[in-house]
Amino acid sequence: MSRILIVEDEKKIARFLALELQHEGYEVETAGDGRTGLERALESDPDLLILDLMLPELSGIEVCRRLRHQSDVPIIMLTAKDDVSDKVMGLDMGADDYMTKPFAIEELLARIRVALRKPRQGAAEPAAPEGVLTAGELCLDPARFTVTFGSEEIALTKKEFDLLKYLMERHGKAVTRDDLLRDVWGYDYAGDTNVVDVYIRYLRHKIDDRFGIKTIQTIRSVGYKFQYEG
């Protein structure tokens, strides 16, 4: 039986979610503020976290950020705002998915099932060491989770790293936004496909602009490809 931790300060929503999830056969724990939520998440190591964005004590973003230093538990964020920047921020901080309130409980249940099906890194036996990817002086090491240009390290968020890795693994090949959403964001992403473009911009800023090279090329009306030009 999967255990789910709900971190939500609105008591009505928390109670409603707890009842629905218990009804579905999940074991449920709740926390009413961010600090308690973070403690519970670290102590009881749940299988999934439902995390409200606006919380007293510690915001959902902050809980997510801190939790990600120690845990790869799937996190579904709840946000009251239909605001792309909040969603991007949440995903950037390592949330796996988000839902905008109000939402249909069936949709949340479906997303929980998807999130629980995904293999957790480090949960099973360690994966075979992955190869280092290089292009010119750019070097991505999946095992060490580092990206360097020459001797300089490039600080990337997890999502930026995953995106770059995906593109580098397909060096010279075109990939569509849908490919990226499906394989990098990892779920049937509804709407806001511009999240891909936002992240491509982040990467270009951190790599191309900084080192005066070209890495990710736009292929009009298709998507992108990684093609190194020093």
Six token digits for residue 85: 């920047």
Binding mask 23-52 for Ca ion (x = CB under 5 A): -----------------------------x
Q: Does 105 contact Ca ion by CB under 5 A? A: no
E strand intervals along 12-145? 27-31, 48-52, 75-79, 97-100, 133-135, 138-141
The Cα 25–Cα 215 span in angstroms is 47
Phi and psi at 74, nearest 5°, equal: -60, 135
The span of 7-15, 16-24, 160-168, 201-209 binding Ca ion (CB under 5 A) equals 7-15
Among 9, 33, 57, 208, indicate the residue that binds Ca ion (CB under 5 A).
9
Q: Does 20 contact Ca ion by CB under 5 A? A: no
> Whole-number minimum distance, CB 40 to Ca ion, in Å?
16
Q: Which residue is nearest to Ca ion (CB)?
A: 54
Q: Does 86 contact Ca ion by CB under 5 A? A: no
Q: Give the pairing of strands 75-79 and 97-100.
A: parallel
Q: Give the pairing of strands 48-52 and 3-7.
A: parallel
Six token digits for residue 4: 């789910």
Among 2, 54, 114, 176, indicate the residue that binds Ca ion (CB under 5 A).
54
Six token digits for residue 219: 């292929």
Q: Does 92 contact Ca ion by CB under 5 A? A: no
> Whole-number minimum distance, CB 102 to Ca ion, in Å?
13
Decide whether 85 or 193 has the Cβ nearer to Ca ion: 85
> Whole-number minimum distance, CB 124 to Ca ion, in Å?
34
Q: Does 13 contact Ca ion by CB under 5 A? A: no
The site for Ca ion, by CB under 5 A, has a size of: 3
Question: Please, are residues 135 and 217 in contact by the beta-carbon 8 Å criterion?
Answer: no
> Whole-number minimum distance, CB 65 to Ca ion, in Å?
17
Q: Does 62 contact Ca ion by CB under 5 A? A: no
By CB under 5 A, name the binding residues for Ca ion.
9, 52, 54
